[in-house]
Structure formats: C-alpha cells, structure tokens
Structure 1
Amino acid sequence: MSGQPSSRELYAFNEGKTFVSNIAVRTDGTLLLSTFENGRLYSLDPRADTPKVELVAEFPGANAISSVVANSPDTFTVVGGDHRPYRYELGSMKVWTVFFPGPGQPAVVKTVAEVPDTEMLNGIDSLPSQPHVVLGADSVKGRIFRINTITGAVDVAFSDPALEQDTAIPIGVNGIRVFGPHLYFANSAKGYFGRVPIGPDGSKTGDIEIIARSPETVSQSTSYDDFSVAQPAGGNPTAYITAHTNKVYSIDLVTGEQKLFFGGGDSTVLKRPTSVAVANDGKSIFVTTAGFEVMGGPAKGQVVEIPI
C-alpha cells in the first residue's frame, strides 16, 4: 500500500498444513519458528539467498507449539500440547527446553515441566533477572503462569480481569513481552494492548494500564495477536503488533500513539499474521503468519521481513 515500507517474503510453507505461531531470533540471526498443525520447531536463515527451513525438533504428545523464547544464546523454551480449536486438551500442556550444543550437532530437547491446570499457554517470555524463569499467558482464564525451567516449579504469578477472554473470541491475553519494569500484553478478545508493572520475580506490583485499543470492532478477523518491542536509536520504544486479517500496527510505548504500519485494506502480503520478532540489528522485523487465505482453508504459514 502507498506510503508503507517494502517487504520481502523469506519463506512460505507449501504443504498446506503449517500454521506458524511464534518466532524467536538467535544471536547468530537465525530464526526459530514454532508451528501448529504438526507441532514442530524449525530454523530459518534469513540471510540465505533462498531461505529454507530446517527441522530442529518435534515434541512428543504435542501437535502444536504455541511459543518459543530465549533463555540464553543457546537455550530456548517452548510450550505446547494437544491442540483443539481455541484450546488445548486439559492436562496436555508441557514445557520443554531446546539446547543447541554447537554447529552440526542436533538440538537437545528436555521436558522440564507440565502445566495441568490450564487449557492454554500462549505467549511466553523470560525474566531478564532470571532468564531460566518463564512467564506464560493463560488465554482462557486470564492468568500469568511462572515456570522455572531448571526446577520445573510452576505457579501463577498473578491474574487480572483485564487479561480474561470476552464474548468476541475465546482468546484473552495472547502475546506478552517483558520490557523495562513492565510486562506488556495483548488481549485478543477485548482488543487491549496494555502493561502492568512487575517485580524481578514476575509478580504484579501495580495496576494494569491500557495503552491502546484495537481501532476496529473486535472479531476473529480484526483481533490483536502477538507483538515485539523495538528500541530505535533516538526514538521512543515501539511495539509492533499483528492484527488479523492482514495488518501490523505500531504503538508508541511513551505516547500511546497507534498507527497502521503495514498491510490493511486489500493487501494480501500477510496472510493472517501471528507474531513479530525484531532483527538483531534493530533495522527490520520478521512477521510470521498462519497462512490462511480464508479461515478454515489450507495453512501455508509465511515469514516476511519488513524494514522499520
């Protein structure tokens, strides 16, 4: 669309069943992609002349991996389970670590925790002061779980009505990111983008603040999904948040100003975007998609790079 940045599709799955749910960037610039439908973790080198995915790991008992996040340069946490429409089978949610021992060596997968008391762990992020501790969004009951990937301990860090689902769609708190002293979050059903102050252990230390709201009436075709935060040189920190069916919004974390950054209208570049990761150099974002031309159709998930 006129006035929008250019974009480059790095990769699109072609078998018609791969919904890319989440993305993380390794220190070497390689992307990690978590998927629904087949519950696999893939890697993709965006610098290759013709980027191709490589299978990193599969996870026993999981047909969907909702999120992936770094604990260290070589260790990542993923969560997933037995996925059903808008839910996971109760008792199926598990947490794994994926360790990359070195070039040419296969990743080592370890089950570190089970989370039986939830039907969904969605977005996750690690705590800066304790990167082996991961916060996970319960999209059904509006809770933030706290998971220690070393000890396997799991508890609820906090809950809040602003994180709960609503009547529009059955997904409440979705993407989460720790940035500065706050946990930022998107609530898909309520159309909220907000933040809450947290302590070093992820506990809530103040009230939730709503920074922006979806500019459209919330539905399955317009809802916020996941996001990431960029810190431009000389500028305010900015969240780049995906919204169905084809949009990425930018939200200034200082002023709260929200703009349509990419897509919208009749654009077909992004086919139901799901998540965002900021490139290591801070000059672009990587956007993943479910790859649906229409809801319920074949899932041919994409990875698209957009300069910021």
Structure 2
Amino acid sequence: MSNPSIKQIYRFPTEFIENVLVLPNGKLLLSTFKSPGPPYIPDPTATEPQAKPVASFDKGITGLTGIVPLENGLYAVSGGLHTSFSFQRGSMKLFTVSLQSGKVVDSIPVPDTATMNGLAILPYNPHVVLSADSIEGRIFAIDTHTREVSVIFENIDLGSSG
C-alpha cells in the first residue's frame, strides 16, 4: 500500500481555516477565522497558489463558519463577530454570495444565536439551509428565498444560556 502524498498549497499568516468546499472547477472555497471576513479561493493546481478574497462582508463579521452551494451559482456562508473562542451573541448571519460577481447578494440575520456551526442544505429544497447552534443545542432552518429563520430542533436539556 502506498502512502498518499501531501502538498502544502498555501500558508495563511494568521488565519484559521474553518471549512473547505471543493468547487466544481477544482478550486477550494475556504471560510476563515481571524480575518476581515472574506472567504478565499486558492487554486491548488497553480504553480504558486494565492488565496484570493471572494467578497467583502459587513465590518462586524470577523469569522466565517459554514459554506454550502445553493442554486443558480450562489453559495451560503455563515458568520458573525468572532471574539476569543466564541461569537458575540446575536451577531450571526447567513450570507448569500455570488462567486461570479464577488458580491454578497443577501444577508439574513439569525437573531438570539450563540453560533452557527456548519451548514447543510435540504436536497429537495436547496434554498433551505440548516445550521447548528452547537452551544445551545438548536438546529435552525433558514429559507434563503423567504428569509425566514426557524428553530426546527431544540435540546431542552441544554436550555438557553443567554
């Protein structure tokens, strides 16, 4: 059995990579902590890959968590104001981002939330995004068409910490 080869494609000076999504063209979409907030796209096939910012987010967004593809070439990215080992309560938002234009198309607040830990889409409703508030034991459903945010699961044993 052969060992897989590992190749460093880019080294961020201060960022912490939270999530990686492989795009249809083979490039990577990375969400980060400790940066001004943009997700980055390095091209792993380039001779000297560079991490290019995709879009600019609100000034209060300093950490990005999940990334999922939506329909029509859009991507959902969650983020908020990242402080020391947590997010500021109430700062979390779900962003709809166009990689083609490099613009944030929409910003949906997810109020009264401690964190949004990862994202998933519903296969038969790809405009509905699920995210876990893993601190408070809740799962949110965010409809990117209607902008409705609802709690679809809550662990009452954990209760609300805030």
Q: How would you bin the TM-score normalised by the shorter chain? A: 0.7 to 0.9
The verdict on how the C-alpha distance between 1:32 and 1:73 changes in structure 2, with shifts beyond 3 A counting, is farther
CA–CA separation in structure 2 for the residues paired with 1:137 and 1:94: 13
Post-superposition shift, 1:3? 6.9
Unmatched tracts of structure 2, length 5 or more: none
What are the within-5 Å matches in structure 2 for residues 1-308 of structure 1?
4-14=3-13, 17-38=14-35, 39-60=37-58, 61-72=60-71, 74-101=73-100, 106-160=101-155
Post-superposition shift, 1:78? 0.5
CA–CA separation in structure 2 for the residues paired with 1:30 and 1:130: 26
CA–CA separation in structure 1 for the residues paired with 2:153 and 2:131: 11
Unmatched tracts of structure 1, length 5 or more: 165-308
Match of 1:270 in 2: none
> Alignment partner of 2:54: what SS?
strand
Root-mean-square deviation (CA, aligned residues, Å) is 2.1
TM-score w.r.t. length of structure 1: 0.47
Letter in 2 for 1:97: T
> Alignment partner of 1:12: what SS?
coil
Post-superposition shift, 1:65? 0.8
Match of 1:286 in 2: none
> Alignment partner of 1:10: what SS?
coil
CA–CA separation in structure 2 for the residues paired with 1:100 and 1:88: 25
Q: Which has the higher strand share?
A: 1
Post-superposition shift, 1:52? 1.3
Q: How many residues align?
A: 156
Letter in 2 for 1:71: L
Post-superposition shift, 1:87? 2.0
The verdict on how the C-alpha distance between 1:28 and 1:3 changes in structure 2, with shifts beyond 3 A counting, is closer
Quote the sequence identity (%): 40
